[in-house]
Amino acid sequence: MLPLARAAQSLVARGIQHTAVRQAHRKHEPNFHDKYGTMVLLGGAAMFSAVWGYVFTGLDIAWGFSPVGRITPREWRE
């Protein structure tokens, strides 16, 4: 290797090592997702369940009942 290229590679490697060490010793500060992420997720799930629960109970649908065999056709009137 050329001496200049070797020196540049060493300098880059040393800079990466310094950055890694500096970040490893830095205290982790909680961000928005660390503080409120679970509460936002649970709040969204509760809101989703409440809205769809309201929609499904507001509809007059007889769930699971099949009219097959129960309905007989009426006679045609002219």
> Is residue 64, in this structure, part of any structural domain at all?
no
Rounded-to-integer distance, Cα 46 and Cα 41, Å: 9
Total count of domains within the chain: 1
> Is residue 11, in this structure, part of any structural domain at all?
yes
> Is residue 10, in this structure, part of any structural domain at all?
yes
Rounded-to-integer distance, Cα 42 and Cα 63, Å: 28
Rounded-to-integer distance, Cα 60 and Cα 69, Å: 22
Could you tell me the pTM of the whole model? 0.42
> Is residue 32, in this structure, part of any structural domain at all?
yes
> Is residue 40, in this structure, part of any structural domain at all?
yes
What CATH number does the domain containing 11 carry?
4.10.51
| Structural domain of 9 | 1-57
> Is residue 77, in this structure, part of any structural domain at all?
no
Mean pLDDT rounded to a whole number for the chain: 78
pLDDT tens digits for range 42-77: 999 999 999 999 888 887 666 666 667 666 777 877
